[in-house]
Amino acid sequence: MSASLIAPVAALMRQVATDVVLPHFRALAESDVIEKAPGDFVTVADRESEARLGEGLAKILPEARMIGEEGVAADASLLDGIGSGLVWIVDPIDGTNNYAEGITPFAIMIALVADGETQAGWILDPVSGRLLHAVKGGGAYVDGARVMTKPTGSPLPVAALATQFLPADVRADFERRLPGRLANVPVPRCAGEQYPRVILGQNDAALFWRAFPWDHAPGELILTEAGGKMARFDGSLYRVDKPGFGLLAAATPALWDQVREILLG
């Protein structure tokens, strides 16, 4: 079933990008940007994109319900039962803060989950048109070409560490461990760009603290199908129905082990 969904979901994402996301980019009025929480923004384009994606996904697979980032912001009870049945998980614009500032990257991300396990994932860059997708057990693809992860080959592992949400003591401990062991590069403020950077050999690893399903379900599956690894700090596999903090993604299982040892010892 999942493989037959790849084309219609991709077409829907591209249509919403064309009709909603790109027309609003760099054309938002001040009133079009709302601060949901300190430093966390939503725009009229996020909400319109989520509505359009929801309408389209309901036609593609009527038996699946949808959990979208903006819907959950308005009603957290939508997350109840995320591990039961078929669920579309939607991030209508990942990287909203970038989008609201008129800069890239940002992405549209969708995952299909069955009983808590991600079955398919899509990440679209609306500006470049690059589409990553994967089906569980079927490999990972970028613009239709199958891809496998590979290390950057840099002398030190190249990692983008999203430390802004870490507890202060954890962040200080990580920063103490980095010099001479890890090349820490800036984060793109967009999981929909960070996962492709690991998959495509630009970064060796990425660290996240918050584990919202719309940020990670698509990327985790695509990375894993490409040969990489994403897991919680204790090594347990990521599931959308298991809340918690702390995720580490790496281009290979060996790099995951290496970076985890550097950061957590």
Among 103, 127, 147, the domain boundary falls at: 147
pLDDT of residue 38: 83
Is 153 contained in some domain? no
Give a yes or no: residue 39 inside a domain. Answer: yes
Kindly report the backbone phi and psi dihedral angles of residue 242, in degrees, each rounded to the nearest multiple of 5, phi listed first: -120, 95
Q: Are residues 258 and 196 in the same domain?
A: yes
Statement: residue 157 has pLDDT above 70: yes
Q: Are residues 23 and 75 in the same domain?
A: yes
CA–CA distance, 75 with 237 (Å, rounded to integer): 27
Same structural domain for residues 177 and 221? yes
CA 244 to CA 238: how far, in whole Å? 10
CB 251 within 8 A of CB 258: no
Whichever domain contains 245, its CATH number is 3.40.190.80
For residue 99, what are the domain limits?
2-147
Same domain, 36 and 126: yes
Does 152 map to a domain?
Answer: no
CATH of the domain at 130: 3.30.540.10
pLDDT tens, position by position, 49-80: 999 999 999 999 999 999 999 999 999 999 99
Shared-domain flag, residues 13 and 111: yes
Q: How many domains does the chain have?
A: 2
Name the pTM for this structure.
Answer: 0.97
The tokens for 265 are 């010892």
- Same domain for 186 and 226, yes or no, is yes
**Residue (of 4, 1, 8, 10) closest to 133 by Cα position:** 10
Q: How confident is the model at residue 265 (pLDDT cuts 50, 70, 90)?
A: confident
Residues 91 and 47 in one domain: yes
Q: Are residues 163 and 82 in the same domain?
A: no
Q: Which residue has 């090349």 as its token pair?
A: 183
The rounded distance, in Å, linking the Cα atoms of 125 and 107 is 5
